[in-house]
Structure 1
Amino acid sequence: MAPRDLWTEAVAGVLARPLRSALTTLGTVLGIGTLVITIGVASTAAHQIVGRFNALTATSVTVEVPPPASDTVPLVDWEGIAAVDRLAGVESSAALAQTDELAAVQVRTNDVVTPGGLSGQTLAVAAASPSLPAAVRGDVTAGRFYDGGDIARHARVAVLGDQAARLLGITEVNDSPAVFFNGHSFTVIGILGGFKREQRLSTSVILPPTTARDRLGLGTVNRVLINTSLGAAQQVARQSPVALTPNSAKALTVLAPPDLSKARKGVQGDVNSLFLVLGLVSLIVGAIGIANVTLVTVMERVGEIGLRRALGASRRQIAGQFLMESTTIGLLGGVIGAALGTVVVVSVSAVKDWTPVLDGRLALGAPVVGAVVGLLAGVYPSLRASRMEPVEALRAPS
């Protein structure tokens, strides 16, 4: 029997029972379709998850500056952050000074303490460069932030975090309210809110560096906040220590976000692995369905098998016919399943407003996978059909 004749007989056998063949093909369609859908949706979702990674986290770099040894020059001075701003990819930066001693200070809005009255609120005190609002991606909700002129004049001014202002009952700065702590008074000129970074500054009193050094001895930079453009964080993290202190770059500690390409691969790999297992399970279920129906078909066609054997068909030809039938069913299921799976992935992406991500090799290889599944599923039924003796097959009830 020529391969063409074998194919013709297989197609005729499939079309002889169209409803059963359709139901058998449906098992492969579900298996292949589920495989394409799960892997396609998983890949799309993985890219979407990475695409929605917090851009703030991906562009925030922090440089920790250790305290200087006694009687030595600080590693980073307040003017030194200008060198960071010149680095490619840097959008904003600010220097910050904080100490444990000033992390909990009793701050009052009135210098007169009445018996039995509240002594004030416990707030933190920090010193920062005038570029702090941009560095923390915050907004001045009232008044203004201090500038270079205030720093040069050593002005006794302060900016409150929005939560600190709320605790102190200050909502406006037009009447120049004052705050008192550690025996000093400071005029509140602004309120800073909307912190995207360093949210703890929302409960702080923020002073100009020169004022903090003169009044409180808080003048050493211990942290530099840097915001970069997307994708430049790793480069800036390598270059910023050298820009801040070329001779002692290794003494600084840089906190940078992880490489997004590695995160993307990790998320996509984990999600793909999960859904690949689900797709394979569905594919196995489809293969079992093909094997079961093919075996039932063999049992129903015992008389046909006996007649073919009596007319001279060999065992190999009988096995080849049933293998071809099961392979054809698997191939049809693979083609239909791949098409439906692709449509579903694109539809889900359109509904979710995602960019569909589907490996072309998967869509093109799905029919081949379906054919292989059908081939493997038909091995046992075809072997059983080929082992039937002509006389026994002809005597069997039809």
Structure 2
Amino acid sequence: MRVRDLVGEAVAGVLARPVRSALTTLGTVLGITTLVVTLGVAATAGNQIVGRFDELVATAITVEVPESTGTPLVTWDAVERLTRLRGVESAAAVAEPEEGESLPVRANDLVDPTRVTTRSLTVLAATTGLPEAARGRMVRGRFYDSGHVRRGDRVAVIGDEAARMLGITRLDRAPAVFVGKHAYTVIGVLGDLRRERSLSTAVIVPPTAGRRFGLRDVTRVLVNTGLGAADLIAGQAPTALSPGNGDMLQVITPPSPTRARDGAQDDVDALFLILGLVSLVVGAVGIANVTLVTVMERVPEIGLRRSLGAARRHIAAQFLLESTLIGLTGGVIGTALGVVAVVAISAVKQWTPLLDVRLAVAAPVAGALVGLLAGLHPALRASRMEPVDALR
């Protein structure tokens, strides 16, 4: 039996019952579509997650400044030199108290024994670029500027949680907070922090005012860089902040996202791959069942072919090729639908779709392989039929 004849008989067998063949192909279509969609969406979503991770983590640098007994290692105006470096988007110097040290803060000078009016909050001094460096925004009011710092004004900015605890809900009446015996006018509330969330419960004052609480020297510098500039700025920041003493500063750089990305990507791919394979197995079972039913219905045809000289291998090859054609057709249609679905989902989510060319080529082959394996048992059963028994 020539290959040409074998292919013709297989195609004729598939087209003889078009509705049944279409329903059988539908199982493979759903399985391959699910496989392509899950792997494509997993890759696209993983890339989106890594992009967000790069934006929020891989661009944040912290410079720790050790305590100095003599001249400060980093002066308050050193941040201006740092911001001139190419790749630095924002930076701020901060003077923090020692670990766990807080000061009593109250919103008014009235002592009410029936209410808790005094809170222990962290008081720190910072330069004017703190909101951008902390990746936050002023939810009310504004941050103090260089004029407040130069004049030594008694102004303060508080975190949104600190404002809630102190009961400050509006700033139009120039509310004040009392830190010890000193009153400071609250001109803004800082919130929506994506970095340094501890600032939400802090009272922030200008460097000139922070000296009253022992906050004289810079203890930390927060730096935000552009994507890809973190390593470069990490090497240049110590020299810009403290020329000649840069080796004494400790630079904390963000960890490389490669390992975290690969781990998350592998986990997501494995999960979706299992879901896709389950759908593919369901399609394979459907092909096997329908092919087996087809074999039982075509017993007289098999007996006639055997009596006219068809060998066992010819019968087996015909049914195997029919099931393979069904699987291949379902694989091609499922791959096309899966690619369209991935692009559509990415367009709705405003993502950049990631589609592996190897997946688009391998998916139809996988469909054909599923059809081949699904038709193996029915084909062997058909080839074992004896001509006399089949004709009877």
TM-score relative to the length of structure 1: 0.83
Give 2:137's aligned residue: 138
Q: CA deviation at 1:334?
A: 1.1
Q: CA deviation at 1:317?
A: 1.5
Matched to 1:42, the amino acid is A
Tell me: CA distance 1:98–1:383, structure 2 relative to 1, closer, same or farther (3 Å). same
Q: SS of 1:100's equivalent?
A: coil
Q: What per-residue deviation string (whole Å, max 9, x for no partner) do you get for residues 295-332 of structure 1?
A: 23223222222221221112222221111111111111
Matched to 1:125, the amino acid is V
Q: CA deviation at 1:182?
A: 4.6
Aligned partner of 2:330 among 326, 330, 333: 333
Q: What per-residue deviation string (whole Å, max 9, x for no partner) do you get for residues 318-370 of structure 1?
A: 22111111111111111221222223223333343433332233223322221
Q: SS of 1:188's equivalent?
A: strand
Aligned partner of 1:79 among 77, 80, 91: 77
TM-score relative to the length of structure 2: 0.84
Aligned counterparts, 1:277-296, within 5 A: 277-296=274-293
Cα distance in structure 1, aligned partners of 2:107 and 2:29: 74
What residue ranges of structure 1 are gaps of 5+ in the alignment? none
Cα distance in structure 2, aligned partners of 1:98 and 1:278: 51
Cα distance in structure 1, aligned partners of 2:54 and 2:9: 60
Matched to 2:207, the amino acid is P
Give 1:5's aligned residue: 5
Contact 1:31 1:282 in 2 (8 A): yes
Cα distance in structure 2, aligned partners of 1:44 and 1:242: 40
Tell me: CA distance 1:67–1:326, structure 2 relative to 1, closer, same or farther (3 Å). same
1:93 maps onto 2:76 in alignment = no
Tell me: CA distance 1:349–1:208, structure 2 relative to 1, closer, same or farther (3 Å). closer
Tell me: CA distance 1:323–1:157, structure 2 relative to 1, closer, same or farther (3 Å). same
Q: CA deviation at 1:152?
A: 5.2
Cα distance in structure 1, aligned partners of 2:112 and 2:311: 111
Aligned partner of 2:127 among 129, 132, 136: 129
Q: CA deviation at 1:282?
A: 1.3
Cα distance in structure 2, aligned partners of 1:304 and 1:111: 102
Q: CA deviation at 1:223?
A: 0.9
Give 1:24's aligned residue: 24
Q: CA deviation at 1:276?
A: 0.7
Cα distance in structure 2, aligned partners of 1:119 and 1:350: 52
Cα distance in structure 2, aligned partners of 1:267 and 1:394: 60
Cα distance in structure 2, aligned partners of 1:140 and 1:340: 46
Give 1:392's aligned residue: 389
Q: CA deviation at 1:212?
A: 2.8
Which stretch of structure 1 is more off in the superposition, 323-332 or 15-24?
15-24
Aligned counterparts, 1:182-331, within 5 A: 182=180, 185=182, 188=185, 190-194=187-191, 196=193, 197-213=195-211, 215-245=212-242, 249=246, 251-331=248-328
Which stretch of structure 1 is more off in the superposition, 194-203 or 89-98?
194-203
Q: CA deviation at 1:104?
A: 2.2
Contact 1:159 1:205 in 2 (8 A): yes
Q: SS of 1:254's equivalent?
A: strand
- Computed over aligned residues only, the root mean square deviation of the Cα atoms, in angstroms, reads 3.3
Cα distance in structure 1, aligned partners of 2:145 and 2:318: 88
Matched to 2:333, the amino acid is I
Q: What per-residue deviation string (whole Å, max 9, x for no partner) do you get for residues 155-204 of structure 1?
A: 252323155566275954887x7655455x35537334235243443444
Cα distance in structure 1, aligned partners of 2:308 and 2:232: 79
Q: SS of 2:216's equivalent?
A: coil
Cα distance in structure 2, aligned partners of 1:109 and 1:24: 74
Aligned counterparts, 1:137-156, within 5 A: 137-139=136-138, 141-142=140-141, 145-147=144-146, 151=149, 155=152
Contact 2:158 2:203 in 1 (8 A): yes
Give 1:380's aligned residue: 377
What residue ranges of structure 2 are gaps of 5+ in the alignment? none
How many residues are aligned here? 388
1:62 maps onto 2:62 in alignment = yes
1:160 maps onto 2:157 in alignment = yes
Cα distance in structure 2, aligned partners of 1:232 and 1:341: 38
Q: CA deviation at 1:140?
A: 8.5
Q: CA deviation at 1:248?
A: 5.2
Q: CA deviation at 1:99?
A: 1.0
Q: What per-residue deviation string (whole Å, max 9, x for no partner) do you get for residues 267-307 of structure 1?
A: 33322211111111111222222222222322322222222
Q: CA deviation at 1:50?
A: 3.5
Aligned partner of 2:341 among 340, 344, 356: 344
Cα distance in structure 2, aligned partners of 1:320 and 1:109: 88
Cα distance in structure 2, aligned partners of 1:276 and 1:114: 63
Contact 1:173 1:188 in 2 (8 A): no
Tell me: CA distance 1:385–1:243, structure 2 relative to 1, closer, same or farther (3 Å). same
Cα distance in structure 1, aligned partners of 2:361 and 2:21: 23
Cα distance in structure 2, aligned partners of 1:74 and 1:87: 22
Q: What per-residue deviation string (whole Å, max 9, x for no partner) do you get for residues 193-221 of structure 1?
A: 235243443444433334433x3332121
Contact 1:32 1:334 in 2 (8 A): yes
Which stretch of structure 1 is more off in the superposition, 1-10 or 32-41?
32-41
Give 1:15's aligned residue: 15
Q: CA deviation at 1:377?
A: 1.9
Cα distance in structure 2, aligned partners of 1:299 and 1:390: 14
